[in-house]
Structure 1
């Protein structure tokens, strides 16, 4: 834009110069007449020589045209050179002037709900750009305080609710252990115990979600294959009840993170694959160098449009899948939060023939995974 404006101004200046010079230079006829009429007699020549006005006029016209051409040519070359210099200077000036905006944009792109600690901290004169950056930083301070307060509330509320639920469960069990309890009381107690257990799982899920959202306090090397093997062994009874065959391929894989959260990550994925499966179906769990973890299960057909809601809290695919399930709707939400806390990426895509294929990329020791572009009908979170 700077170069274009400079070029337009240069063209206008060139036209003005051309008009001024064109009006200033006399025409050939006038020059010839002044020369012919104003030639003084030479005393050494008698009579004085006569000058041809036609020749003088032609020479004057030729000189005038040549002068105008030289003026246009020289001005055009100078204008092109000046436009190139203006383009370079304009680019440097614009780059310097817009650098704070690039900083603001880059910071905004890196911001997430779990990484609100970044600030622009723009240095420089108190101009409009610094005012914008300072306003953006103050807005981030307010957002960070709001998110931290929300996380603390969820963690504290979940923690405080565990005690009354434990007391409630104990009272129900004591009442059911009474030998004089009636069948109606026993049925009611079983129903209350089931509701109580579901509430405890919900509270536990909220605690894990709040903990993973707050990030990792410490990072230690963890053998993901050993963690996965432990989870699969403990899920054997559940797989037998569901009538689902479980297969695994576990390669040695070490990641840096929290052992408890990683175990919860694998547990949620395996339990989700078993819960939302079909009798006679299968679950395949793989731990490899890249991706770190892959869980594939059979089951109902999952449309690509339904994928975004899977990782949202308290969201399920549909009521049919939710019917008769004991889950709290936090399993995949916790998975996403734990993966983000470990600087990883999780993909979800429909499995051929029904079910899901969930892929987890986690950075290993002294290396960062390279993520290819997600395939079609794939959700990356």
Structure 2
């Protein structure tokens, strides 16, 4: 596929060569016609003088005209060849200069994310179509930045306004209800806790989808060990094999990513099943022995509020959606494949970051 610069170069060179060839051909044809007309009107030359046995005769005028015209055609052909090379070089340079603002706009668009929406193209120069395009793009970024800032303020306000009444409700249930209504009390506390988890998950999902404002080196192997030390299941065997790996990102979001992967593998599992976690060469892999999932349903795993099976513990339906959003915010890819015998293998592939090797550890839980 040819680029715009190549096409512009070909157009410039083609037009230049076409006009040059037409000009040279026209000049040569008119010159031949003029010479023949002028020579045809001249009187015949006198007889040439005789010098001994040699006769000093000049060449006939018509032959001289043909020699001049042929020489003119040769010079014209050489000139067209040189001009062809020069026109390609000049056309390439001119096309590059004309398209330079387009490259600047493209580079800015590729570099932009939620964390650097304050950047602008700020194209200088004459008020032409490219300047108008850059200014339109900058105006769009202004609107987008204001929208993102409004969403961030809404998330912060929602976090405060939603968590506070839930905390008050939980305290009222725990303190105000008597012991003889234990079943109702437990059910209210369960739904209260579930609502809190749902709100927390939605807020984390919104934060991950907005990108990362700040990054810092995070030891992902330490995050895995911390998550495994804090959680687990009595009838699910969890094993982990990790090697040192550093990710530039947010430690809280990375902790939630690992937590959701492990919780999902435990929740969607069979009694007495296993969960295997590995971290090697920048790939975090979580395998479980849960139910089989058809390949055509893989895409639904990362959609919010999608539950493919009845689980041991009802979740919010946002676990893997949050995983996908956090991975995208860190420049990672999430891949899913069926595990032989049932269950899934979820792999999060991070960009490589140089880290100090400290050896490989194995943690059976």
Q: Is the 8 A contact 1:272 1:331 kept in 2?
A: yes
- Separation (CA, whole Å) in 2 of partners of 1:322 and 1:11: 79
The structure whose Rg is larger is 1
| Post-superposition offset of 1:295 | 1.9
Could you list the structure 1 runs, at least 4 aligned residues long, displaced by more than 6 angstroms after superposition. none
Correspondence 1:1-381 to 2 at 5 A: 1-26=11-36, 30=40, 34-36=43-45, 39=46, 59-113=60-114, 115-174=116-175, 176-179=177-180, 181=181, 186-212=182-208, 213=210, 215-217=212-214, 219=216, 221-237=217-233, 240=234, 243-288=235-280, 290-302=281-293, 306-312=297-303, 314-316=304-306, 319-321=307-309, 326-341=314-329, 343-353=330-340, 354-361=343-350, 364=353
> In structure 2, how many angstroms separate the alpha carbons of the residues matched to 1:265 and 1:142?
31
Change (3 A) 1:223 1:94: closer
Q: What is the CA-CA distance between 1:153 and the residue it aligns to?
A: 0.8
Aligned residues: 340
Equivalent residues of 2:283, 2:347 under 8 A apart: no
Residues 214 and 11 (structure 1), Cα distance of their counterparts in 2 relative to 1, 3 Å cut: closer
What is the TM-score normalised by the length of structure 1? 0.76
**TM-score (normalised: structure 2):** 0.79
Name the Cα RMSD after superposition: 3.4
Q: Which residue of 2 aligns with 1:379?
A: none
Q: Does the Cα contact within 8 Å between 1:297 and 1:351 map onto a contact in 2?
A: no
Measure the CA separation in 1 of the matches of 2:89 and 2:56.
55
For residues 172-221 of structure 1, what are the alpha-carbon distances to aligned partners after superposition, in whole Å with 9 as ceiling and x for unaligned? 33455333x3xxxx5444433322221100111233334443624463x5
Task: Flag the 1:302–1:24 CA change in 2: closer, same or farther, 3 A.
Answer: farther
Q: Displacement of 1:323 after TM fit?
A: 6.5
> SS state of the match for residue 179, structure 2?
coil
Residue pair 1:276, 1:321 contacting (<8 A) in 2 also: yes
* Contact residue 277 and residue 297 of structure 1 kept, 8 A: yes
In structure 1, distance between residues paired with 2:328 and 2:218: 17
Give how far 1:246 is off: 1.8
Listed as ranges, the gaps of 5+ residues in structure 2 are 1-10, 357-365
Q: What is the alpha-carbon distance in structure 1 between the residues aligned to residue 224 and residue 238 of structure 2?
A: 12
Q: 1:304 to 1:284 in 2, by over 3 A?
A: same
3-state secondary structure, aligned to 1:25: helix
Measured in 2, the distance between the counterparts of 1:147 and 1:7 equals 53
Q: 1:127 to 1:175 in 2, by over 3 A?
A: same
Task: Give unpaired runs (5+ residues) of structure 1.
Answer: 368-381
CA change 1:133–1:41 in 2 (3 A) is closer
CA distance 1:315–1:96, change in 2 (3 Å): farther
